[in-house]
Amino acid sequence: MTGSVLVLSRRVCAAVPSPALISLALTHVSRSIIRHLANGRARAPGILTPCRTVASTPKAGARSEESSQSGQQEQEPRRTGAAVRVAASILAAWLALNAGLEVGGLDEWLAGLRTGKPLNEVRFVPYIVTSREQVSPTAFILTVKPKFALDRPDTSPSGRLLSVLFPRLQFPHTSHNNRAILEKAWDHGLWSVEIKQPQIQVARDYTPLPAPSREAEQHDLHFGHLRFLIRRMDGGEVSTYLSRLQVGDTVELRGPHLGFDVRARLGSSDKVVFLAGGTGIAPALQTARAVLDTETNPHNNNRKPSVSILWANRHRADCPGIPSPQGTQPVDISSSSNAITSLLEQMKARYGDSLHYTSTVDDENARVTPPDILRAAGSSSPPAGTRTLWSIPFFSSSPSLPTTVPDRTSSNTTTCKYHSVSTLISSPGRDEPTPQNHCACAGAFPGKNLLMVSGPEGFISAFSGPKRWGEGLELQGPVGGMAASLREADPAFWEKWLVLKL
């Protein structure tokens, strides 16, 4: 019995197990055990049957030989019985372990021993830097993976044998234990994680970049990869620390922290205009993925929503090849080596005409203007009386702002947590996961178009008014800046829009 199992183990370890091999191996082990059990029971009665006595008196030598043979015959059933008991114990243990893996949580516990603690919102967990790609003189993409994640499935002999004996077992070949957490975050839409500067114990939120394709998404989920667009800022403790990290270094993450549920807030409406300043392009790309990956809305003339990104940068090196809102800058994006512009091009190929993007550059004296926003929003009304903010330095910390305009939206959304402007003012910018379109608005298919703003503090203030602090949290605050001026100029049009500050 033991010899046959060892031979089987050596054969199994010589090749990567497949479902067919697993089934064959388990069948072979079971049949071997049953055969040994059956043989043991069959031989035992015959062995224990008393031998016939011989009438003649045996000689002394014959008596000695018969005594030896009798002793051997008595020991054989004992050995057989012991082998049967060992085989039965092995079979019982194998069945018990597989049952424990199925219902007892043992598999998860074993996986945790190897892969460490999963990503969570309470404690920081270690990640390893796997690549660092410079995309401009001051910005770079940092790719990380869980510290204990496998780069490839476990193909060691012990791992293959465990996979054969315990087909339900996951821990020998599970790359990491964050997949369910990451899937939940990506399904929600907008999310971020904190990255810690360990020397001074300070953390900052960073938004993971989406993958360019479904295949790349599955690859990232399998290996737990996360990518962040980071700009090194003068005096920025966390960004400076991250800029010094090299491949193989350890970095600590905490999260994910879920943001706005953009699909629930959009509802049956179909337009998202995103004003992104600098690295604010990361949440813009998350938003595009969240909105455009959904199925076509049958209640909206079978049209998918559209996402228009207006990306403002300081230097052309940050966005090479991206056309301006006026259609200038004819450089082909595909000729650029900038990873963000390449990602935009790949997402454009993925979503087609549902995704639009343009860029402005401070060095070229170009700014996002009210007409640019109106064109992206689909308004034909001229921005009469709207102040032009071309002269405002969007990336400064204290720009001159237009006066905040009171909300004049209809009263049927005053109690809806998704679409009430008054409720949004005191929101910290996070929505708990809930069924889509679960809101208190009147109408069969409620929703609002979204004007979203993300970037440095001065950029957000200039376009949508500053955030405010309350109860230890950074809250949305009332709408101000250019968005308030646009709403004052055409309240009927902007009544159908929500302004979200990220």
Write out pLDDT tens, residues 467-477: 999 888 999 99
Higher pLDDT, 12 or 159: 159
Higher pLDDT, 249 or 11: 249
Question: Does residue 43 have a pLDDT over 90?
Answer: no
Supply 353's token pair. Answer: 């005409």
Contact 345, 333 (CB under 8 A): yes
Contact 12, 164 (CB under 8 A): yes
Lowest mean pLDDT among 11-25, 209-223, 353-367: 11-25
Which pLDDT score is estimated for 253? 98
Supply 102's token pair. Answer: 């199925």
H or E element that contains 28: helix 19-48
The answer on whether 204 is annotated among ligand-binding residues is: yes
Supply 311's token pair. Answer: 């990306």
* Beta strands 191-197; 250-258: pairing state: antiparallel
Question: Does residue 257 have a pLDDT over 90?
Answer: yes
Whole-number Å distance between alpha carbons of 241 and 273: 33
Strands across the sheet containing 449-454? 355-361, 306-313, 271-277, 449-454, 497-501
- Which residues, in sequence order, are CB contacts of 299 under 8 Å at separation 6+? 268, 444, 445
Contact 447, 419 (CB under 8 A): yes
Looking at the chain, the domain(s) classified CATH 2.40.30.10 span: 118-152+174-258
Lowest mean pLDDT among 10-14, 192-196, 220-224, 412-416: 10-14
Whole-number Å distance between alpha carbons of 72 and 258: 74
The answer on whether 229 is annotated among ligand-binding residues is: yes
User: Averaging pLDDT over each range in 23-37, 104-118, 486-500, which range is the top one?
Assistant: 486-500
Question: Does residue 289 have a pLDDT over 80?
Answer: yes
- Which residues, in sequence order, are CB contacts of 339 under 8 Å at separation 6+? 133, 135, 141
Which pLDDT score is estimated for 421? 87
Lowest mean pLDDT among 9-13, 26-30, 144-148: 9-13
Q: How far is CA 255 from the centre of its chain?
A: 11
Which pLDDT score is estimated for 170? 54
Question: Does residue 66 have a pLDDT over 80?
Answer: no
Contact 502, 429 (CB under 8 A): yes
Question: Does residue 55 have a pLDDT over 80?
Answer: no
Calculate Rg over the CA atoms of the chain. 34
Which pLDDT score is estimated for 4? 47
Residues 164-172, mean pLDDT to the nearest whole number: 57
Cis amide bond preceding 383, omega within 30: no
Which pLDDT score is estimated for 389? 43
The answer on whether 18 is annotated among ligand-binding residues is: no
Question: Does residue 36 have a pLDDT over 60?
Answer: no
Q: Please choose, from the candidates 108, 119, 122, 257, the residue with its C-alpha nearest in 3D space to the C-alpha of residue 189.
A: 257
Confidence of residue 74 (pLDDT cuts 50, 70, 90): low
Topology of the domain comprising 118-152+174-258? Elongation Factor Tu (Ef-tu); domain 3 (2.40.30)
pLDDT digits (tens, 9 = 90+) for 365-421: 999 999 999 999 998 765 554 444 434 444 444 444 444 444 444 434 567 888 888
Percentage of the chain surpassing pLDDT 70? 62
**Average of per-residue pLDDT values in the chain:** 78
Percentage of the chain surpassing pLDDT 90? 48
E strands in 364-472: 449-454, 468-470
Confidence of residue 324 (pLDDT cuts 50, 70, 90): confident
Confidence of residue 481 (pLDDT cuts 50, 70, 90): very high
Supply 90's token pair. Answer: 């092995």
Contact 290, 450 (CB under 8 A): no
Contact 373, 388 (CB under 8 A): no
Helix/strand/coil (H, E, C) string of 175-200?
CCCCHHHHHHHHHHCCEEEEEEECCC
Whole-number Å distance between alpha carbons of 440 and 433: 16
315 phi/psi in degrees, rounded to 5: -130, 150
- Which residues, in sequence order, are CB contacts of 308 under 8 Å at separation 6+? 271, 272, 273, 274, 356, 357, 376, 377
* Beta strands 271-277; 449-454: pairing state: parallel
Which pLDDT score is estimated for 390? 38
